[in-house]
Amino acid sequence: MLPSFIVIGILIVASQYVFLKGSFYKDLGLGRIGDTAVLDNYIRFFTDPFYLRTLWITIKTSALAAFFTLLLGFPVAYLIARMRSRWSMLLLAGIVVATFVTIVIKVFGLIIIFAADGWVNKMLLGLHIVDRPYTIIGNQVGVVVGLMHFTLGFGVLLLYSVIQTIPRSLEEAAQIHGASRFRMHLRVLLPLSLPGITVGSLMIFNMCMGAFTSAALLGGGRVFTLPVLIQRTVMMEVKYSMAGTLSAILLITVLLINLLSVFLLRRFRTARLVVT
């Protein structure tokens, strides 16, 4: 047990400690940091509209990606979970395999599909839905799509495991008692799966908050999320302390949002809006 704890401690706690500690010192240029602890970087972050906007873009794109991932993932997960044929396992295996494909390949696939001469734009132009090719590169829509692409497989797998725990008999009982399919989903399936959905959405949201590749490639250097800004701060400006501050704020923001969600979930449970 002890060796595992030591390894995990070094990998997780020690690395976090290094950048958290570094965030309290001033950058002196060329990667050097001062020797007196100050709050300058944090003050700069919270008083500079550029940094605050970056934080907002990070939260917004992550929340939208998590929402749409769940929205699109739920029907697929439900379908697979309720399938009685052997195809369900095949579909699930397909999703698992797709999840492990590196995001760089997936994103380049998206870029090709949405290219000016790609089939999506050919179809949109052909149907006169747009009058000039639509691009997902270099805007927030593209980043959201990229994040969804990154998390959709995980989302389906998470929701599948949640739906599987809900007995099919409950759905059948509701329908026997006259509930329509829509009403059964709204009044039975959704409340029963809400704790799972909440946990799943938090996991997807957390993944999106820290995602770099999708945001960097599809943002096209025009959409800055915090991970993108951290990379630029380290690589281009060699400001390790400021990068540490940005990382710390990202970590704390994610923690706060997760704690707030758990708190709200408990409140809902107390008010019996969620079935557990």
Sequence-separated (6 or more) residues with CB below 8 Å from residue 196: 158, 159, 161, 162, 165
**Residue appearing with tokens 């938090």:** 202
Helices assigned H by DSSP within the chain: 2-8, 15-22, 40-47, 49-82, 87-100, 103-113, 119-126, 140-164, 168-176, 181-184, 190-210, 213-219, 226-235, 240-270
Residue closer to another protein (CB basis): 133 or 210: 133
**Taking CB under 8 A as the rule, does residue 60 contact another protein?**
no
82 by DSSP, 3-state: which? helix
**Taking CB under 8 A as the rule, does residue 211 contact another protein?**
no
**Taking CB under 8 A as the rule, does residue 236 contact another protein?**
yes
Binding mask 78-107 vs another protein (x if CB under 8 A, - otherwise)?
A: ------------------------------
CA distance 217 to 214: 5
Site for another protein in 147-186 (CB under 8 A): none
211 by DSSP, 3-state: which? coil
**Taking CB under 8 A as the rule, does residue 223 contact another protein?**
yes
**Taking CB under 8 A as the rule, does residue 220 contact another protein?**
yes
Stretch that binds another protein, among 8-16, 71-79, 109-117, 123-131 (CB under 8 A): 109-117
**Taking CB under 8 A as the rule, does residue 116 contact another protein?**
yes
**Taking CB under 8 A as the rule, does residue 196 contact another protein?**
no
Of 23, 41, 54, 151, the residue at the interface with another protein (CB under 8 A) is 54
Residue 34, both tokens = 């001062």
Residue closer to another protein (CB basis): 63 or 179: 63
Residue closer to another protein (CB basis): 30 or 129: 30
Amino acid letter, 132: R
**Taking CB under 8 A as the rule, does residue 43 contact another protein?**
no
Stretch that binds another protein, among 70-78, 164-172, 205-213, 227-235 (CB under 8 A): 227-235
**Taking CB under 8 A as the rule, does residue 239 contact another protein?**
yes
Residue closer to another protein (CB basis): 18 or 93: 18
Residues facing residue 33 across a β-bridge:
27
Q: Do residues 22 and 240 touch, judged by C-beta distance below 8 A?
A: yes
DSSP state of 35: S
Stretch that binds another protein, among 12-20, 64-72, 116-124, 255-263 (CB under 8 A): 116-124
**Residue appearing with tokens 């401690």:** 9
Cβ atoms < 10 Å from Cβ of 180 = 10
| Residue ranges that bind another protein, judged by CB under 8 A | 29-31, 50, 53-54, 111-112, 115-118, 132-133, 135, 137-140, 216, 220-224, 229, 232, 234-239
